[in-house]
Amino acid sequence: MSSQPRTTPNPATSKVLGALLGVHAGDSLGATLEFKPWRMIRTKYPNGLREIIGGGSFGWPAGHATDDTDLTRAVLLAYLDRSAHAQTHTTATPAQPFDLTRTAADHCLSWYNGDWPGRTPGSSPRDIGGATDTGLSNYEASGNPLTSGAGPDSAGNGSLMRCVATGLFTAGREDRIKESKAISAITHNDVRCTISCAVYNEMVAALLAGKTPAEAVQIGCEVASELDCPAVEAALRRGEEVSLEQFASEGPASDFPDWSSGYVLQSLSLAVAALLDARSFEDVLVDVVRIGGDTDTNGAIAGGLLGAREGVEGIPERWLEKLQFREEFEEGVRKMLG
């Protein structure tokens, strides 16, 4: 990582950077404890794990991206490609239609097939969710990202973890919702997943626009209602009721089992609870991870909202300096925001 000093970004840029690097930080912090239950974490880390140290079930180097950040990068690359495509055309040479969904699927497939930074060329991912594996395998076989999803009974959190770029770089609710759903459906086309991504990105966009966390959650609830998805709206309301600090210190309630299955609505509820927790980015994210289970993905999803709330300055520098894609994400944001 570069040791050169960085200038403080303006508030809007800070929130965009905060969201992307918040996903990365939550992923990298949680990777150490993935699949571990709350009781085991409490015994080893009574005050929570507060440093990015790597290791875990897959032996990650400290700060290395897992599938959560890798696939967030894949979607970000699609938005960078769209921006570059638009800039190469003028009114005299109109742009040909740009297929954002296919481009995102192609970048995900590159990751799937080992064409990725930090990987041996052609190697398989160390960690991949079942629906993601099925969806990308289907896409590779059919070439059609509109029909590749794992099906209506696969409601994991593997598309919610990667979706934040849409909330950051697409203007207008209608377009954000359309893109959120389409990019989710490459692998996760269950309505609970596609609507969760749409709702999440509306909350991200609201935070960028200066809305309070409570206002952002209310906007999410309105979108879930408009899209006729009571299950997602109920997950948002559940998050409003959760005391994250209590869950972390006393153990999760019965409907948040120690050994999380990676259920998308559980992750969404935890992310809302994190967003509404007024403590610092560090304290909140440490407690998200303390709950156990799918710690890297829950950390990534919550970290994106917290980063959009706090800005990049809210993320501890000692965490940022370890993140594999920090400089690339910073450069990508500079390109997108000028």
Coil/strand/helix, residue 55: strand
The answer to the question of whether 91 is labelled as a binding residue is no
User: Which residues are within 8 A (CB) of 249 and not within 5 positions of it... i.e. 6 or more apart?
Assistant: none
User: What pLDDT is stored for residue 301 in this prediction?
Assistant: 98
Coil/strand/helix, residue 180: helix
Q: What is the pLDDT of residues 273-309, one digit of tens each?
A: 999 999 999 999 999 999 999 999 999 999 999 999 9
The answer to the question of whether 68 is labelled as a binding residue is yes
The answer to the question of whether 297 is labelled as a binding residue is yes
User: Is residue 220 included in any domain, yes or no?
Assistant: yes
Domain that holds residue 136: 11-86+98-337
Quick one: average pLDDT of 119-135? 95
pLDDT score of 330 more than 80: yes
CATH number at residue 35: 1.10.4080.10
Provide the domain count of the chain. Answer: 1
User: What pLDDT is stored for residue 48 in this prediction?
Assistant: 97
Q: What is the pLDDT of residues 157-188, one digit of tens each?
A: 999 999 999 999 999 999 999 999 999 999 99
User: What pLDDT is stored for residue 119 in this prediction?
Assistant: 93
User: Is residue 229 included in any domain, yes or no?
Assistant: yes
User: What pLDDT is stored for residue 9 in this prediction?
Assistant: 80
Quick one: average pLDDT of 207-227? 98
User: What pLDDT is stored for residue 253 in this prediction?
Assistant: 80
Quick one: average pLDDT of 139-168? 96
User: Is residue 188 included in any domain, yes or no?
Assistant: yes
The answer to the question of whether 190 is labelled as a binding residue is no
Q: What is the pLDDT of residues 253-266, one digit of tens each?
A: 877 765 556 999 99
pLDDT score of 3 more than 60: no
The answer to the question of whether 153 is labelled as a binding residue is no
Q: Which residues of 69-98 are buried (b: 16+ CB within 10 A; e: fewer)?
A: bbbbbbbbbbbbbbbebeeeeeeeeeeeee
pLDDT score of 97 more than 50: yes
pLDDT score of 322 more than 60: yes
Structure confidence at residue 11 as a pLDDT band (50, 70, 90): confident
User: Is residue 1 included in any domain, yes or no?
Assistant: no
Quick one: average pLDDT of 40-49? 96
The answer to the question of whether 70 is labelled as a binding residue is no
User: Is residue 3 included in any domain, yes or no?
Assistant: no
Mean of pLDDT over the chain:
94
User: Is residue 91 included in any domain, yes or no?
Assistant: no
Quick one: average pLDDT of 238-247? 94
Cβ–Cβ < 8 Å for 171, 177: no
Q: Which one, of 288, 262, 147, 244, lies nearest residue 193 by Cα?
A: 262
User: What pLDDT is stored for residue 95 in this prediction?
Assistant: 61
User: Is residue 67 included in any domain, yes or no?
Assistant: yes
Residue 126 neighbours by CB distance under 10 Å: 14
User: Is residue 36 included in any domain, yes or no?
Assistant: yes
Global pTM exceeds 0.85: yes
Cβ–Cβ < 8 Å for 75, 165: yes
